[in-house]
Amino acid sequence: MNIRIAVSGASGRMGKALIEAVSANDQTALVAAIERPDSSLIGADAGELAGIGKLGVRLVGDVATVIEDFDVLIDFSAPAATIKNAALCAEKGKGLVVGTTGFTDEQKAELEKCSQSMALCIAANYSTGVNLCLKLLDTAARVMGNDVDVEIYEAHHRHKVDAPSGTALRMGEVVAGALGRDLNKTAVYGREGQTGARDRDTIGFATVRGGDVVGDHTVMFMADGERVEITHKASSRQSFARGAVRAALWLAQSEPGLYDMQDVLDLH
């Protein structure tokens, strides 16, 4: 039996990629697509919007109107909308895959509370390759230890609204955790002027925005005499979309709780 999937943020770049990925998977069926209630696209066919032909699924402006129709919601929208959708899914015990980034600490706490009543997966990046890199970063940080300087570089398209990317921040959290550091205290998000000698305990971030870059990330472990770099480059959003669909299939068989893509891939 196919898992019934709904997509929130359906008209965005990731939303269109998700519609395509759900439709292409023989274990899933797209049953609902959601956009902002004030969107001019309400009523449009989701398949035509994604460029894959008619699917017979019309965009709606509220998850509540389709809450009984799906098993799992994949949400790549905006923090406020995702929080609202999470509350609805928790009330009905629906699975939720969250790819939205930029949550406040209070919003993260709300999501964690919702996970007591539903299976919830939150990840900064659903690419299989990126999540493999997170595992490698943990290993590299533990092996290289405190004898290296750590710098994180990321590049994305000109339309991305948050910086650093959620993936870069997650990479920083993994490295900081492996080194026993608090990223909130050690992160450096920009350098200018007479900054003085580098503090080895810091983790630096460099952000680039431009063009149509889907997503590049590199973490550098720099010691005297050698340097280790772990890099991931995405050339298509389908890598993220396929991973999110994989997470949705996994959640459909899972008990209520808070999960991440490392759980889905059994990398913990």
Give DSSP secondary structure letters for 18-62.
Answer: HHHHHHH-TTEEEEEEE--TT-TTTT-BHHHHHTS---S-BEES-
The pLDDT tens digits of the residues spanning 171-186 come to: 999 999 999 999 999 9
User: Has 160 been annotated as catalytic?
Assistant: yes
DSSP-derived letter for residue 199 is P
- Helices 79-92 and 105-114: angle between axes, nearest 10 degrees: 20
- Which of 84, 92, 159, 160 does the annotation list as catalytic? 160
User: If you search the block for the tokens 């925005």, which residue do you land on?
Assistant: 209
Complete domains list, the chain, with CATH = 3-122+237-264 (3.40.50.720), 128-234 (3.30.360.10)
Point out the catalytic residue in the list 16, 156, 217, 232. Answer: 156
- Give per-residue pLDDT as tens, 155-208: 999 999 889 998 999 999 999 999 999 999 999 998 999 999 999 999 999 999
pTM of the prediction?
Answer: 0.83
Q: Tell me if residue 232 is catalytic.
A: no
Place of tokens 């490295």: 175
